[in-house]
Amino acid sequence: MKNKRSFFERLTGAVRLEDEDGLPENVPVARNSNKADIFEEAEEAQLTVDVYHTPTEIIIKTMVAGVKPDDLDVSITRDSVTIRGERGEERTVSGDEYIHRELYWGAFSRTIALPEEIDVDGAEASEKYGMLILRLPKLDKNRQTKLRVKGN
């Protein structure tokens, strides 16, 4: 039975050295301290998210530690949400000075298909201690309103 992937491996798409034989041929693998390093030509990493709902809204939570709120791009439609950003690394240590390296630096994104339509204009986003929280009000399909008919 295969070991369960760690949070870091799911977040970045990283693989353990012993799992590298299962990689497609086009995935670059560089050896560094006897560990697989697939970040040489990194693509966007995929954020991990929690998505849940209440009777009135859909809530999405994700960790965006190390990213300023102004550097996050959150795009929403009635049926999906896309979160994009990039963690910039301050180069104070050279690569060969690392003993162990797991933090992910670079671009990330995630698109989430929503189970119900939302009110785009009522959506809210907040960030606290590295946790991004999106509150997306559900559309009330049973809501009715009266239209006044104008005459000439």
Query: Per-residue pLDDT averaged across 57-83, rounded?
Result: 92
Q: 61-87 burial by CB neighbour count: b if 16+ within 10 A, else e?
A: ebbbeebeeeebeeebeeeebebbbbb
Could you state, in order of their start, the residue ranges of all structural domains in the chain? 1-42, 44-137
pLDDT value, residue 17? 52
10 pLDDT band (50/70/90 cuts)? low
What is the rounded average pLDDT for all residues in the chain? 78
User: Are 104 and 12 in contact, with CB atoms under 8 Å apart?
Assistant: yes
* CATH of region 44-137: 2.60.40.790
Tell me which residue of 69, 98, 100 sits closest to 83, measured CA to CA: 69
25 pLDDT band (50/70/90 cuts)? low
Within 10 angstroms of residue 12's Cβ, the number of other Cβ atoms is 21
The percentage of residues in the chain with a pLDDT greater than 90, rounded to a whole number, is: 38
pLDDT value, residue 65? 87
Secondary structure (DSSP) of 9-28: HHHH----GGGGGGS-TTS-
Query: Per-residue pLDDT averaged across 20-37, rounded?
Result: 48
Look at residue 77 and tell me whether its pLDDT is greater than 80: yes
Look at residue 71 and tell me whether its pLDDT is greater than 60: yes
Largest pairwise CA distance in the chain:
81
